Structure 1
């Protein structure tokens, strides 16, 4: 728990958020150094100042926004060194609610292995979450679980093909640095400028290209066992074969050729039924995996057991 880690944490966040962006595929919209236009408007209005282009944001405004709307909101100053930066970076890129869920689920991943009581996953970093984080012996394991869950959600976003390479690199770099600062099981020296004891002082670093926002709301739709082009196509074909087979059944025995056709249709109907069942199984499993990565409840399984409740996957 080191409040002084805000300065080096922000410097490292700006390595990934250090530019101006107005990409139409970025759900954050017009952005400068990781601060979106809507957030800048909120900040300026709260101070009684006129709204202006976020590209005109000053360094002092940028620092104040990061401190008030991200670092303080995710209670980074109350978290162990290393984990503070890890959660802070995720909060900036994907929102405080998502960062809180990743932290709570990561803590539960570790607590499950040690037989400890699980904490609620409510998307808010409160006293219970802070206490659980500071009670954890292996901070590297928490950071690793957090990073894995973060990457898992990013891979399910519609914009992953466009931004995935940069996101993947960012998560890997944040994980590596966070674990080095945490000084846990990863044998890496603490980088210069990071506070792990009260007698050290932070130093700043430079900036680089921006990173698009990675929001859960931009996720790909979950596959449906009974919907979509594939399921619809299988269902239509199967129904058509069944109708033809039923209609032609009375003519069976009238011609060897017709009998062969009917037998072929029966076999085709069986194949389509098997394909449909296989697709439904795949869609159920894929939807469950995506829902877990996104932290949401999957739709009820088709042809199987009911899915877990939302609170178990939040």
Structure 2
């Protein structure tokens, strides 16, 4: 890339991140201008310095953390205009590996490798083959939103995240198409970290197995009662009573079995959508 957009991208990321935050539901915990206390502790330790509150982070420290841990981590200077910023913002919000996974998902089918969050030669080759960066940014942001919507914290931070991604999309596409991008704004909640550890769990198929098994067993019982009815047919009153029981058991069992099969379909469908959003399915 001939010109680095790191400085301009950082200005917009910092606008999205705001100042200090420590929301009880934010998995990032105490955060200052997008840098978490954990990230700051790690940085200070690597420098041979004692830890201190992230509120005290200096501008030089902030710039170095963003440069090394986020911009360089997504190889920003190797990425096309707009795509560099979009991946950078995603890396700050959800980690570099997750942001790269969104790129890999968006590059299908040109990218045929694993969705592994590693920006290697295969990903770069697919990126080079994709000449429509405007549309690519759309797909990256769509993958990001699909991921966010499957987090348990979306109910709390979803509005802020949605507004942030909407603006990231617009800024990235402006860069990709040679236009002057807008400034970025702060959206409350949009600065909260969005990590895969907070993803919703896939629904269990155990209730489906239980219902299907019970329904199958009930159908077997109704068959036994039907045979008993035939044996007692000379006793008209008893035979009639058993016949009614057979009908009730058969209907209830059929409904139970069908419900179990229906719930299994629903659970498998939800699990498939979740895996696709998290980039954990083969070929996702």
Does the alignment pair 1:274 with 2:258? yes
For 2:273 and 2:245, locate their aligned partners in 1 and report how far apart those are by CA, in whole Å: 42
Residues 106, 146 of structure 1: 8 Å contact kept: yes
Residue 136 of structure 1 corresponds to 130
Residue 274 of structure 2 corresponds to 290
Residues 140, 179 of structure 1: 8 Å contact kept: yes
270 and 8 in structure 1: CA distance in 2 versus 1, 3 angstrom threshold: same
For 1:6 and 1:105, locate their aligned partners in 2 and report how far apart those are by CA, in whole Å: 24
Residue 195 of structure 2 corresponds to 215
Residue 112 of structure 2 corresponds to 118
Give TM-score, length-normalised by structure 2: 0.86
Residue 18 of structure 2 corresponds to 18
1:6 to partner: Cα distance: 0.9
Residue 114 of structure 1 corresponds to none
For 1:80 and 1:119, locate their aligned partners in 2 and report how far apart those are by CA, in whole Å: 20
Does the alignment pair 1:158 with 2:140? no
Unaligned 5+ runs, structure 2 = none
Deviates more, 1:47-56 or 1:236-245: 236-245
Structure 2 counterparts to residues 126-205 of structure 1, below 5 A: 126-183=120-177, 189-191=179-181
1:279 to partner: Cα distance: 1.1
Does the alignment pair 1:57 with 2:57? yes
Residue 98 of structure 2 corresponds to 98
206 and 90 in structure 1: CA distance in 2 versus 1, 3 angstrom threshold: closer
For 1:129 and 1:250, locate their aligned partners in 2 and report how far apart those are by CA, in whole Å: 65
Residues 44, 50 of structure 1: 8 Å contact kept: yes
Structure 2 counterparts to residues 208-287 of structure 1, below 5 A: 209=188, 211-225=191-205, 227=206, 230-231=207-208, 234=211, 238=215, 241=218, 245=222, 252=229, 254-287=238-271
> What is the aligned length?
276
C-alpha RMSD of matched pairs (Å): 2.6
1:131 to partner: Cα distance: 4.0
Residue 303 of structure 1 corresponds to none
For 1:269 and 1:183, locate their aligned partners in 2 and report how far apart those are by CA, in whole Å: 61
For 1:93 and 1:278, locate their aligned partners in 2 and report how far apart those are by CA, in whole Å: 37
For 2:155 and 2:186, locate their aligned partners in 1 and report how far apart those are by CA, in whole Å: 25
For 1:82 and 1:262, locate their aligned partners in 2 and report how far apart those are by CA, in whole Å: 68
Residue 305 of structure 1 corresponds to none
Residues 16, 164 of structure 2: 8 Å contact kept: yes
Give TM-score, length-normalised by structure 1: 0.79
For 1:44 and 1:207, locate their aligned partners in 2 and report how far apart those are by CA, in whole Å: 28
**What is the DSSP-based 3-state SS (H/G/I as helix, E as strand, rest coil) of the residue aligned with 2:280?**
coil
Larger RCO (alpha carbons 8 Å, 6+ apart): 1
270 and 95 in structure 1: CA distance in 2 versus 1, 3 angstrom threshold: same
1:144 to partner: Cα distance: 1.0
For 2:242 and 2:94, locate their aligned partners in 1 and report how far apart those are by CA, in whole Å: 62
Residues 74, 87 of structure 1: 8 Å contact kept: yes
1:274 to partner: Cα distance: 0.9
